[in-house]
C-alpha cells in the first residue's frame, strides 16, 4: 500500500492508471475509520475488481467545519487507519495536508468554492450553513486529484450523498456515485466517528435516534400521517431520553429532498440530536 501526501504525485499516479485503462475506485474519508468506512472500501474493491485500484483519502477538511465546530478536536488515529486499510488491500491512501489542499489559504485567502444551491439548503445545510460548500469543494478537488471512475459514500450522510450526486451531474464529473448502507452498532446506533465523544450515559441514550426511525416506520406502515403530528410525537419520544436535545426531524422526498406534508411508507426521514456538544445524525426510508 502506497501512502501519498502530495497532490501532484496523487494526480500523476491517477493519470498513469487512467492511461493504462485501469479502473479507479475511491472512498473519501476524514479518518478515524470504523467498520462503516471499511465497508465502503470493500464496496469500492468489489466494483473495480482485483485489476482495478482502490484509493482512500484521509483528510479532515477545515472548510466544512464552522469556526464554532469541533475541527481541532475531531478524532484522529492515522496509524490505526493505515493498518485497517492495508489489511483490506487498499492500493493508495491519499493523506494531503492543509497546505496541499488549500495552498493559498494562509495569507492571501483561498477563493474558489463549489456551491450546490438547492438540495444543500435544508436540514444539515440549515443547521450548518457553510458545511456543504466545504464538502462539495473538497470532494471536487479530490475527484480532480484521484480521477476516480467510481466513488463510494455512506447512506448515513444521506443529504451529503444527494448533494454530491447533484454536483457530479451538474458539473459533468465522469464519476459514478455509489451510496452504501449505514452500518450499525449492535443496539442500532449508526456507526460514526463522533460516537467516540459520547460518555457512557449519552452512549446508552443515543440509540433513541434509531428507535425514533423505527417508531416512525411503524406509524406509517398501515396509513399515512401528517408530518406535523408525527413531528410532535417524535419530539416527545426523543426528548424522553433526558440527555437528548432535538435539533431537527425532517420528512421529505428522497429524490428532491422537498419536505412532505403527509408522511407515508417511502418517505425519507432524517434527524439530528445533540448529546451534550455531540451532534448525531441518522436517516431512513420509512
Ligand atoms: O463524509 C465525510 O467524511 C466527509 O464529508 C467527506 C466526504 C470525506 C468530505 O470531507
| Nearest CA among 177, 182, 154 for reference residue 166 | 177
Q: Kindly state if the Cβ of 177 falls inside 6 Å of ligand 1.
A: no
- pLDDT > 70? residue 50: yes
- What is the Cα–Cα distance from 21 to 137, expressed in whole angstroms? 27
What does the pLDDT average to over 263-281?
A: 97
Which is it for strands 53-58 and 244-252: parallel, antiparallel or unpaired?
unpaired
Active-site entry in 37, 104, 211, 231 = 37
Q: What is the pTM of this model?
A: 0.96
* In CATH, 2-180 is 3.40.50.300: no
Pocket test of ligand 1: the residue of 130, 139, 142, 145 to mutate, having most ligand atoms within 8 Å of its CB, is 139
Q: Find the mean pLDDT for residues 63-83.
A: 92
Which residues, other chains included, contact 50 with Cβ-Cβ below 8 Å and sequence gap of 6+? none
To the query of whether residue 23 is one of the catalytic residues in this protein, the response is: no
Model confidence pLDDT, tens digit, residues 158-206: 999 999 999 999 999 999 999 999 999 999 999 999 999 999 999 999 9
Question: Which is the closest atom of ligand 1 to the Cα of 157?
Answer: 1
Ligand 1 pocket, mutate which of 71, 157, 158, 183 (most atoms under 8 A from CB): 157
Nearest CA, atom 9, ligand 1: 135
Classify residue 63 as exposed, middle or buried by CB count within 10 Å of its CB (0-12, 13-18, 19+).
buried
| Positive/negative CA dihedral, 10, 22, 139, 30 | negative
**202 Cβ inside 6 Å of ligand 1:** no
Q: Partners of 263 in the beta sheet? A: 225
Per-residue pLDDT tens digits for 110-140: 889 999 999 999 999 999 999 999 999 999 9
Question: Closest residue (by CA) to atom 6 of ligand 1?
Answer: 29
Grid cell locating 136? 462539495
Return the CATH architecture of domain 193-285: 2-Layer Sandwich (3.30)
Confidence (pLDDT) at 106: 52
Cα 264 to averaged position of ligand 1 atoms, centre (Å)? 30
* Domain chopping of the chain, boundaries: 2-180, 193-285
Amino acid at each position: 500500500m502506497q501512502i501519498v501526501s502530495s497532490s501532484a504525485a496523487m494526480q500523476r499516479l491517477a493519470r498513469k492508471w487512467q492511461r493504462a485503462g485501469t479502473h479507479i475506485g475511491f472512498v473519501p474519508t476524514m479518518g478515524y475509520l470504523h467498520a462503516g468506512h471499511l465497508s465502503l472500501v470493500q464496496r469500492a474493491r468489489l466494483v473495480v475488481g482485483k485489476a482495478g485500484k482502490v484509493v482512500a483519502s484521509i483528510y479532515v477538511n477545515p472548510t466544512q467545519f464552522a469556526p464554532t465546530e469541533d475541527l481541532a478536536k475531531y478524532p484522529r488515529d492515522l496509524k490505526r487507519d493505515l493498518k485497517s486499510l492495508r489489511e483490506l488491500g487498499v492500493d493508495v491512501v491519499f493523506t494531503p495536508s492543509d497546505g496541499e489542499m488549500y495552498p493559498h489559504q494562509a495569507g492571501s485567502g483561498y477563493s474558489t468554492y463549489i456551491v450546490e444551491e438547492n438540495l444543500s439548503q435544508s436540514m444539515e445545510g440549515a443547521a450548518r450553513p457553510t458545511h456543504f460548500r466545504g464538502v462539495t469543494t473538497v470532494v471536487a478537488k479530490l475527484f480532480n486529484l484521484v480521477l476516480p471512475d467510481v466513488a463510494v459514500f455512506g447512506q448515513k450522510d444521506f443529504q451529503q450523498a444527494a448533494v454530491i450526486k447533484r454536483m457530479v451531474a451538474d458539473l459533468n464529473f465522469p464519476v459514478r456515485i455509489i451510496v452504501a448502507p449505514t452500518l450499525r452498532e449492535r443496539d442500532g446506533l449508526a456507526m460514526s466517528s463522533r460516537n467516540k465523544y459520547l460518555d457512557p450515559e449519552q452512549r446508552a441514550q443515543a440509540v433513541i435516534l434509531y428507535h425514533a426511525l423505527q417508531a416512525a416506520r411503524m406509524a406509517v406502515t398501515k396509513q399515512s400521517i401528517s408530518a406535523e403530528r408525527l413531528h410532535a410525537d417524535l419530539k416527545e419520544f426523543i426528548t424522553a431520553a433526558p440527555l437528548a436535545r432535538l435539533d431537527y426531524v425532517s420528512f421529505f422526498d428522497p429524490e428532491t429532498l422537498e419536505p412532505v406534508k403527509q408522511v407515508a411508507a417511502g418517505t425519507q426521514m432524517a434527524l439530528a440530536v445533540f448529546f451534550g456538544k455531540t451532534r448525531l445524525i441518522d436517516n431512513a426510508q420509512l
